[in-house]
Structure 1
Amino acid sequence: MIPSYRKDSLEQHYKIINQLGKGAMGITYAAEDVNTGQKIALKVISLQNLSDAKHLELLEREVTVLKQLNHPNIPQYIDYFQLKEDNKLYLVQELVLGKNLNQQVESGLRLTEGEVKNIAQQVLYILDYLHNFQPSIIHRDIKPHNLILGDDVKIFLVDFGAVHNAYYNTMIGGTVGIGTIGYMSPEQQIGKPVPASDLYSLGRTLLYLLTNRPPDHLLAHKETVNLDHIRDYIQLSDEFIQWLEKILDPDVDERFYSAKEALNSLKNTKSINKEKNSQIGWFALICLGVASVTLGTFSYN
């Protein structure tokens, strides 16, 4: 997607407040629209840092996908532009207040089965939305770093830099896996992602949230799935363990076929943690998240 071209200065549009994160392709800032007062997230990408055409292609694909998305759990695309003389690209999105789930766990967050199910359901609703595009939009980087807990206890899915239309690998004959080691499915590692690959990554994310252990420490990618040992870390119902084993099956044909199927199955499981005080746990999450600001195009550590 070609950015709009502006001849004026950045300061005429946005006032930078603070840096949110830094990645291989640029820096993301919390900023304010000087004309409307709206708080936004500003991703600044130096063209000098785009070492090859592939990086620019990934950025343009990200922007193209973001522009067509309209979902309450995905930060909204606002603008994409280039200034006349500073050799940089700017991507503007809705600013989300909160911490990503990796930061939350590292800060001491411990979740019950019911709370993890709540997160899983929210993510599955998002994936169902993405996968129902024609062709399907596969996120390809579902992990705790890319799930933001907002200050209203809503989960936001961020970082669409690895997004991949389902037909793309077929068109170019690609065999390179794009994503994060430890969370990618076996088929995604060889460059053959399908919508169910996002489900596998979600399953590994849930393992991390439940146990505070990297998923590779609990489950190898190509072994028969047996999660009985997960009870060493948290008490879970048999039904939920069986659901996790299915979403984590290394054989894509044995996994849930779609986000909707996984969601319907999850809704039919019973939680052993239906405590009346579950809202207190969520309030603790909010307190952990309000102190930090993060956004939708980077995964922050």
Structure 2
Amino acid sequence: MITLTLLHPVQLKPVQCWTFDDESVIRIGRSTDNHVVLYSAVVSRYHVELRRVNSVWEVESLGANGTYLDGKRMTQVPIRNGMIIRLARSGPNIQIHVGVSASHEATMLAGDRTVPQQPQLNAVAALDDDITQPLPAMGVLESQVPERSTAMEPPSEKPSLSGNITCAHLRKTPDLRFCIDCGAPLRVQQTIGRYQVVKLLGQGEMSFTYLVWCDGKHWVLKTLNPNWVRHPKALDLFEREAKALSQLSHPSIPHIVDFFTIERQPYLVMELVSGRSLFQQVTKWGAIPQKQAIGWMLELCEVLEYLHQLSPPVLHQDIRPHNLIRRSAPTAFGEIALVDFGAIRVLSLEAKHRTSAISYSAPEQYQGEISPASDLYSLGTTLAFLLSGQDPGEFYRYREQGYRFYAEYVPGLSPEVVQVIRKLTHPEISDRYASAPEVSEALRQII
């Protein structure tokens, strides 16, 4: 028997385990025909192979980015019970147990396996406390124009009780928002195509985001603010962004399920992510401990590495605590979901409207010069907020390097963190970190 355990990237606690009784060869990689499938941009399609030769197990590295044991790159070594290998320098950690201890490990992990998503009803019931943030404006799976047209307007504060409510359970009561038996909405504000609007989740200058119900599930629907629908550039950006991002497949990025247009008004329907934004987390409970904050940034670095390695690279353009959701139900890949891609928001910046994004964004974004380094810049200002609880805008100054973010003014930061944030937020792109894996390596050195 052999047990493989996926460990948390920072705390090295068990996250998920796989137990094999009879296999003599076990493969780990990104391809779905592996015994253990790990989605990560740095993991090769076939990254590691474990083989049993007589009574001895050995592990061989097959991946282009290498496999590391005790910090050193390995090729082929005998397996020691309890050894931990890392797939690539910034990839996942796998602990290996063999024999009797493997069976014991599997038993001990019974309560520490991957946390599944909670049932839809529980996730939605928590929305009144844990507000789901607006999700990314992205994705085209199928273009479907509903037969019925409905104009989009922000719902009134007192929602209408009318609508196509299909729930027939006897236990529904007027004070409930959702049926406790099936999760169906008991109060529908309006209908857009085949989607029933349950509540307004967010209303910004550029877009509205709603919780909707369709086909027995809750989704998130996002659309342009009607004030921008007649703006040709806004429509073009919305649609181009949707088409470009529909190909994304990453567990930390919500999936798109529909894209359609009604009377020129575009709509995106997305996976529901339940939880609090990191902005809400800090606002309610205060600054985050250094180890936890860096752990979240390491998760984000992995997502950015995936996005930036695509051809052409996909840029988020609006990384800040408001757009990082700490899931109510973590996955094997971590707690953080990255939402609300910001291409449309560029119009707001061009129009000289100040938003909370300004404190977090790289200076070149306001000249239209956007690159992967712009996303990395925002990692620095976001980390400063998490560790201090203060808006990064308070720490911009005119000094020897001109007007820039000075991490040394942020209270409570260790010298090592100050050094990393200064490099992340350097005004010159060439003086920042070159890639997300390079940022990961620097953060790992701190913890």
Q: Common fold, TM-score beyond 0.5?
A: yes
Q: Does residue 128 of the first structure (1) align with residue 268 of the second (2)?
A: no
Q: Does residue 68 of the first structure (1) align with residue 208 of the second (2)?
A: no
In structure 1, how many angstroms separate the alpha carbons of the residues matched to 2:364 and 2:227? 33
In structure 1, how many angstroms separate the alpha carbons of the residues matched to 2:227 and 2:403? 43
**Offset at residue 25 of structure 1 (A):** 3.6
Q: Does residue 41 of the first structure (1) align with residue 202 of the second (2)?
A: no
**Offset at residue 8 of structure 1 (A):** 4.3
The answer on whether the counterparts of 1:243 and 1:266 sit within 8 Å (CA) in structure 2 is: yes
For 1:31-51, what per-residue CA distance to the aligned partner results, in whole angstroms no more than 9, with x for missing partners? 222x2x222101244656413
Who is 2:408 aligned against? 228
For 1:227-261, what per-residue CA distance to the aligned partner results, in whole angstroms no more than 9, with x for missing partners? 3343xx32x44322222221122221111001111
**Offset at residue 11 of structure 1 (A):** 6.3
Q: How does 1:177-192 map to 2 (within 5 A)?
A: 180-192=357-369
Structure 2 residue matching 1:110: 3-state secondary structure = coil
Who is 2:147 aligned against? 7
In structure 1, how many angstroms separate the alpha carbons of the residues matched to 2:239 and 2:192? 24
Q: Does residue 29 of the first structure (1) align with residue 210 of the second (2)?
A: yes
CA 1:177–1:200: 2 relative to 1, 3 Å = farther
CA 1:157–1:220: 2 relative to 1, 3 Å = farther
Q: How does 1:196-275 map to 2 (within 5 A)?
A: 196-220=373-397, 222-223=402-403, 227-230=407-410, 233-234=411-412, 236-270=413-447
In structure 2, how many angstroms separate the alpha carbons of the residues matched to 1:142 and 1:253? 20
Aligned CA RMSD, in angstroms, stands at 2.8
AA aligned opposite 1:259: A
CA 1:140–1:123: 2 relative to 1, 3 Å = same
Q: Residue 118 of structure 1: which of 291, 295, 303 is its match?
A: 295
CA 1:162–1:220: 2 relative to 1, 3 Å = farther
AA aligned opposite 2:315: I
The answer on whether the counterparts of 1:111 and 1:210 sit within 8 Å (CA) in structure 2 is: yes
Percent sequence identity is 35
In structure 1, how many angstroms separate the alpha carbons of the residues matched to 2:295 and 2:425? 18
Gaps of 5+ in 2: 1-139, 150-190
The answer on whether the counterparts of 1:30 and 1:41 sit within 8 Å (CA) in structure 2 is: yes
> Normalization by structure 1: what TM-score?
0.75
Q: How does 1:50-89 map to 2 (within 5 A)?
A: 50-83=229-262, 88-89=265-266
Structure 2 residue matching 1:4: 3-state secondary structure = coil
In structure 2, how many angstroms separate the alpha carbons of the residues matched to 1:48 and 1:223? 34
The answer on whether the counterparts of 1:138 and 1:163 sit within 8 Å (CA) in structure 2 is: no
Structure 1 residue matching 2:359: 3-state secondary structure = coil
For 1:92-136, what per-residue CA distance to the aligned partner results, in whole angstroms no more than 9, with x for missing partners? 000110121222222233201001101111111111111011111
**Offset at residue 269 of structure 1 (A):** 2.0
Structure 1 residue matching 2:271: 3-state secondary structure = strand
More strand by share: 2
Who is 2:337 aligned against? 156
For 1:51-96, what per-residue CA distance to the aligned partner results, in whole angstroms no more than 9, with x for missing partners? 310110121123123311111111111100124xx65322100011
In structure 1, how many angstroms separate the alpha carbons of the residues matched to 2:421 and 2:197? 42
In structure 2, how many angstroms separate the alpha carbons of the residues matched to 1:226 and 1:7? 55
In structure 2, how many angstroms separate the alpha carbons of the residues matched to 1:12 and 1:225? 46
The answer on whether the counterparts of 1:47 and 1:89 sit within 8 Å (CA) in structure 2 is: no
Aligned length: 253
The answer on whether the counterparts of 2:206 and 2:225 sit within 8 Å (CA) in structure 1 is: yes
**Offset at residue 225 of structure 1 (A):** 6.6
The answer on whether the counterparts of 1:31 and 1:39 sit within 8 Å (CA) in structure 2 is: yes
The answer on whether the counterparts of 1:98 and 1:148 sit within 8 Å (CA) in structure 2 is: yes
In structure 1, how many angstroms separate the alpha carbons of the residues matched to 2:359 and 2:227? 31
Gaps of 5+ in 1: 165-174, 271-301
More helix by share: 1
Who is 2:275 aligned against? 98
In structure 1, how many angstroms separate the alpha carbons of the residues matched to 2:406 and 2:207? 40
Instruction: Identify which of structures 1 and 2 has the higher relative contact order when contacts are C-alpha pairs closer than 8 Å and 6+ apart.
Output: 1
In structure 1, how many angstroms separate the alpha carbons of the residues matched to 2:380 and 2:415? 16
In structure 1, how many angstroms separate the alpha carbons of the residues matched to 2:236 and 2:321? 25
Higher radius of gyration, 1 or 2: 2
The answer on whether the counterparts of 2:147 and 2:193 sit within 8 Å (CA) in structure 1 is: no
AA aligned opposite 1:147: L
